[in-house]
Amino acid sequence: MSMSELIATLRENDQIVDCIVVGAGLSGLAAAEELVAARKSVLVLEARDRVGGKVYDVHFSTPSVSGYVEAGASFVGAGQTEIVALAERLSLRLFDTHEKGKKIVFPTSGERKLFDPEDPAYAEPPMPMEAIAQAMAAVAELDELAAELDRTTPWTHPKAQEWDSQTLHSWMESRLTHPDARAFILAQWRALLSAEPADVSFLQALSYIVRATDDNLTPPAKGNWARLTDVKGGGQEARIEGGTQLLPIGLAKRLGSQVVKTNAPVTGISKQGAEYRVYVERGLEAPKVIYKARSVVLALSPPLVSRLSFEPPLPARNNLVGQRMNMGALGKAIAVYEKPFWRDEGLSGQVFCLSDSHVQVVFDDSPANLSCGVVMGFLVGNTARELDALSDEQVQQLILRDYIRFFGPKAADVKHWIIQRWDREEYSRGGHFALCPPNVMTVYGRDCAEPVGNIFFAGTELSDQWAGFMEGAVRAGRAAAGGVIKRLGETSLPDQVSAEARL
C-alpha cells in the first residue's frame, strides 16, 4: 500500500502531542520519561502487546516448578550507571550473577575439563599454554587498538577505513593460529555480538570494546575486553530480582496508559507543514489511526527503521544505513530444573564449549530465591540461523544432548523448556544489536544518530557507552529526548493534552 492509499484509509486522531516515540523498549521508554520530565506531551506507540522489546521475561507454572526466566536481556554490568540508577528509582534490587564454583570447559579436543583458579585442585588451565598465550596477546592488541578510538566518532580514526574494510573474522585469522585460541575468542565474540565475526567489520568490533566504559572511575575509563566478557567487574556482573522486564514495566507504569499504547504497529510517517503524522495499522479488522506530533523519536534499530514508509522519503544516506546494517542471529535455550543441582556438585553452571555443540556459552540463570534451577545457553550466529527452521521440540532435543554432555545425566530431568528465538520475532528480526559489515561504519556511521527535521533516532546501537546493552538503550533514548527538548524549546501544547498524559 502506498503512503497516499494508506492516508486515505486512516482516521485522524485530533490530539497533537509534542513528541511521538515509536517503540516501547528501554530506549523509547527512557526517551519518554525524559520528555515528560521536561513537561513535554508524549505518546509512545508499541507494536507488540507488551513493553520491553528484547527485554522480556517468561513466567511459567507447572506441577513441579514455577518462576520466571529472562528470555531477553539478562545482565547488568559494572559501570552501567544509568541502569543501576533506574533500578533504584523503581525500587528494584540487583543480585550477583552466580559464578561460584568450577567452570566447565571443552577445548577443541572434546575432553571435558573443570577449571577454578581459586581451587588448587582445578587451577590447571583447561587449554594448552600456547593457546592461552596467543588468546591473551590477541585480547591485548584488541584493547590497545580500541583505546585509540574516539568512542563517539570511531570513523574519524586515521586507520578507520583500513579497519572498516576487513571483517573481525579476517583479523582473527591473521592472529589466532592455535585452534583452541581461535575457538575461545570466536565463542566469546559470537555471544557478545550474536553474530559470526565474518558478519562484522573490525572497526565495529573495536568500537564495541571501547564503548564498554566505566563511569564509576575517575576519570571515566574506556572500555576493554574484560569489561565486556567478565562476570565480576564486567558486563555480566548482576541481574534484577524478579526479572529484567520489571525495568520497562516500571517505566511504562510511571508514564501511564494514556502515554504508552501497545498493539500499535507504526507503518509510516509523513510531514505536513510543521506537523508529523504517524500511521498505525492494527490489522484488517481493527481501526487504523493517524497520530499527530511536533516531533518523533524512532526508538528502533536502523534495520527496523528502514522498514517504515516516509513521506517525504528519508535522505538516501539515512535510508541506506538501515538497509546495509543487519540484525545478528540470537536465541536462548533455557532449561528449568527443580533446583540448581550443579551447585551441589561444586559447579558454577558456566560452560565454554569449543568443540562441536549447539550452544557454546552457558550461564546459571537461576532466580535469586532459587525457586528453581535454570540453565541458559546462547543460540547465536550461524547456529541460530540453522535452528530457525526447526520446531521448538526439535531444538529442545538437540540442546538437551548438549546439557547432558555438559552437566551429566541429571540434566536430562528438565521440568520446563523456553526456546526464545529473536530472529523469528516480527518486531525484532534478530539479535540484540544491529551489525555493520565492512564499509558501513565509515560511510554511514555519522548519519545513524543525526535527526532528519524533527525526527530523532534512538536505540542501543547509537549510544557511545555500552552500545548493545540495556545501558546503551537508556542512554540513547535520553540523548534523543535531549535533542527533541532542545529543538522544541520551552513551548508545548498543554491545552491539547490530558493531565494523565503529563503524569
pLDDT tens-digit profile of 79-118?
A: 999 999 999 999 999 999 999 999 999 999 999 999 999 9
pLDDT tens-digit profile of 230-266?
A: 999 999 999 999 999 999 999 999 999 999 999 999 9
pTM of structure: 0.93
Residue 498 pLDDT grade (very low, low, confident, very high; cuts 50, 70, 90): very low
Q: Any alpha helices (H) in 70-178, and if so which ranges?
A: 81-89, 129-147, 160-164, 168-175
pLDDT tens-digit profile of 174-210?
A: 999 999 999 999 999 999 999 999 999 999 999 999 9
Residue 220 pLDDT grade (very low, low, confident, very high; cuts 50, 70, 90): confident
**pLDDT for residue 461 is more than 90:** yes
User: Residues at the annotated binding site?
Assistant: 27, 46-47, 266, 378, 461
pLDDT tens-digit profile of 278-333?
A: 999 876 666 789 999 999 999 999 999 999 999 999 999 888 998 999 999 999 99
Radius of gyration over every alpha carbon of the chain, rounded to an integer in angstroms: 23
Q: What's residue 501's pLDDT?
A: 39
User: Residues at the annotated binding site for substrate?
Assistant: 378
**pLDDT for residue 500 is more than 60:** no
CA within 13 Å, CB half, 383: 21
Least confidently predicted of 16-30, 213-227, 488-502: 488-502
Torsion of Cα atoms, 388 then 390 then 396 then 401, to 10°: -100
pLDDT tens-digit profile of 155-181?
A: 999 999 999 999 999 999 999 999 999
CA dihedral (42, 489, 447, 228) positive or negative? negative
Give the integer Cα–Cα distance in Å for 338 and 109.
32
Q: What's residue 449's pLDDT?
A: 87
The cell for 17 is 502531542
**pLDDT for residue 10 is more than 60:** no
Q: What's residue 215's pLDDT?
A: 74
The DSSP line for 27-51 is HHHHHHHHHHHTT--EEEE-SSSSS
pLDDT tens-digit profile of 356-413?
A: 899 999 999 999 999 999 999 999 999 999 999 999 999 999 999 999 999 999 999 9
Mean pLDDT of the chain: 93
Neighbours of 29 (CB within 10 A): 33
User: Which residue, chain included where needed, has cell 573495536?
Assistant: 206
Give the mean pLDDT of 135-141.
98
Q: What's residue 499's pLDDT?
A: 32
Residue 216 pLDDT grade (very low, low, confident, very high; cuts 50, 70, 90): confident
CB 202 within 8 A of CB 168: yes
Q: What's residue 7's pLDDT?
A: 53
Residue 497 pLDDT grade (very low, low, confident, very high; cuts 50, 70, 90): very low
Domains within the chain, CATH numbers bracketed: 3-53+245-326+435-502 (3.50.50.60), 57-99+328-424 (3.90.660.10), 129-231 (1.10.405.10)
User: Residues at the annotated binding site for FAD?
Assistant: 27, 46-47, 266, 461
